[in-house]
Amino acid sequence: MTAAHRAGALSHTRRWDTTVVQAVSRPGVLDLGPGYLEPELLPVDLVRDAYATALAEFGAAALSYGADQGNEVLRVGLAAREAAASGYPCGPEHVLVTAGTSQALHLVGTAMAAPGDTVLVDRLSYDFGRRVLTDHGLRLREVRLDEGGMDPRALHDALTAERVAGRHVGFVLLNPTFHNPTGTLVGIDRRRELLAVAALHGVLVVEDDAYAELGLDGTDLPPSLVSLAEYDGVIRLGTFAKTIGPGLRLGWLVAHPAVVSGLARRGTFVSGGCVNHTTSLAIATLVRDGHYDQRLDWLRSCLRERRDALVNALRAGADDLAEFTTPGGGFFLWLRFPPGRTEDELLAAAASVGVNAAAGSRFGTAGGSAIRLAYSFTPPGGLAEAAARLAAAWRPAAGPGQRRHP
Q: Contacts with a copy of itself in 98-127 (CB under 8 A)?
A: 99-103, 105-106, 110-111, 114-115, 126
Near a copy of itself by CB under 8 A: residue from 25, 51, 83, 223: 51
Query: CB–CB of 215/228 below 8 Å?
Result: no
Cβ closest to a copy of itself, residue 30 vs residue 275: 275
Residues between 130 and 159 with contacts to a copy of itself, criterion CB under 8 A: 130-137
Q: Which is nearer to a copy of itself, 65 or 298 (CB)?
A: 65
Question: Which residue number, 11 or 219, has a Cβ lying nearer to a copy of itself?
Answer: 11
What's the min distance (Å) between Cβ of 306 and a copy of itself? 16
Q: Give the integer Cα–Cα distance in Å for 144 and 151.
A: 6
Q: What's the closest the beta carbon of residue 105 comes to a copy of itself, in angstroms?
A: 8
Find the shortest distance in angstroms from Cβ 28 to a copy of itself: 19
Q: Quick one: which segment of 2-10, 145-153, 166-174, 293-301 binds a copy of itself (CB under 8 A)?
A: 2-10
Site for a copy of itself in 235-274 (CB under 8 A): 241, 244-249, 266-268, 270-274
Long-range pairs for 113-117 at CB < 8 Å and ≥24 separation? 113/138, 113/170, 113/171, 114/168, 114/170, 116/167, 116/168, 117/167, 117/168, 117/169, 117/170
Q: Tell me the closest approach of the beta carbon of residue 363 to a copy of itself, in angstroms.
A: 13
Q: Shortest gap between Cβ of 89 and a copy of itself (angstroms)? A: 20
Beta-sheet strands, E only, within 247-331: 251-254
Instruction: Count the residues of the shown chain that bind a copy of itself, applying the rule CB under 8 A.
Output: 90
How deeply is 141 buried, as exposed, middle or buried, from its count of CB atoms within 10 A (0-12, 13-18, 19+)? middle
Contact assessment for residue 246 and residue 277, using Cβ atoms and an 8 Å cutoff = no
How near is the Cβ of 69 to a copy of itself at its closest, in Å?
10
Nearest partner of 120 among 156, 96, 69, 146, judged by Cα: 156
* Closest CB 76 distance from a copy of itself, rounded Å: 9
- Residues within window 19-38 making contact with a copy of itself, judged by CB under 8 A: 19-23, 36-37
The only residue of 278, 312, 325, 326 in contact with a copy of itself, by rule CB under 8 A:
278
If the CB atoms of residues 265 and 404 are measured against a copy of itself, the closer one turns out to be 265
Angle between helix 101-111 and 257-264 (nearest 10) = 90
Q: Which residues pair with 252 in a beta bridge?
A: 97, 238
Shortest approach of a copy of itself to residue 358 CB, angstroms?
Answer: 14
Hey, which residues between 280 and 319 contact a copy of itself (CB under 8 A)? 281
- 139-143 and 355-356 beta bridge pairing: unpaired
Per-residue string for binding with a copy of itself, 323-342, x by CB under 8 A? --------------------
Other CB atoms within 10 A of residue 271 CB: 9
Which of 85/112 has CB closer to a copy of itself?
A: 112
Nearest-approach distance from CB 256 to a copy of itself, in angstroms: 20
What single letter denotes the amino acid at residue 110? T
Q: Measuring CA to CA, how many Å separate 164 from each of 13, 138, 158, 167, 377?
A: 54, 18, 10, 8, 45
Least CB distance to a copy of itself at residue 353 (A) = 26
Phi and psi, residue 172, nearest 5°: -105, 125
Residues forming beta bridges with residue 273, ordered by sequence position? none
Q: Which is nearer to a copy of itself, 159 or 299 (CB)?
A: 299
Residues 80-99 that bind a copy of itself (CB under 8 A): 99
Residues 156 and 103: beta-carbon distance below 8 Å: no
**Distant-in-sequence, close-in-space partners of 60: CB < 8 Å, separation ≥ 6:** none
Nearer to a copy of itself, 91 or 137 (CB): 137
User: Residue 285, Cβ neighbours under 10 Å: how many?
Assistant: 22
Does the protein bind a copy of itself through residue 219 (CB under 8 A)? no
| CA atoms of 406 and 396, how far apart (whole Å) | 20
Cα–Cα distance between 283 and 73 in angstroms, integer? Answer: 10
Per CB under 8 A, which region of 44-52, 182-190, 205-213, 339-347 contacts a copy of itself?
Answer: 44-52
Q: Which residues pair with 212 in a beta bridge?
A: none
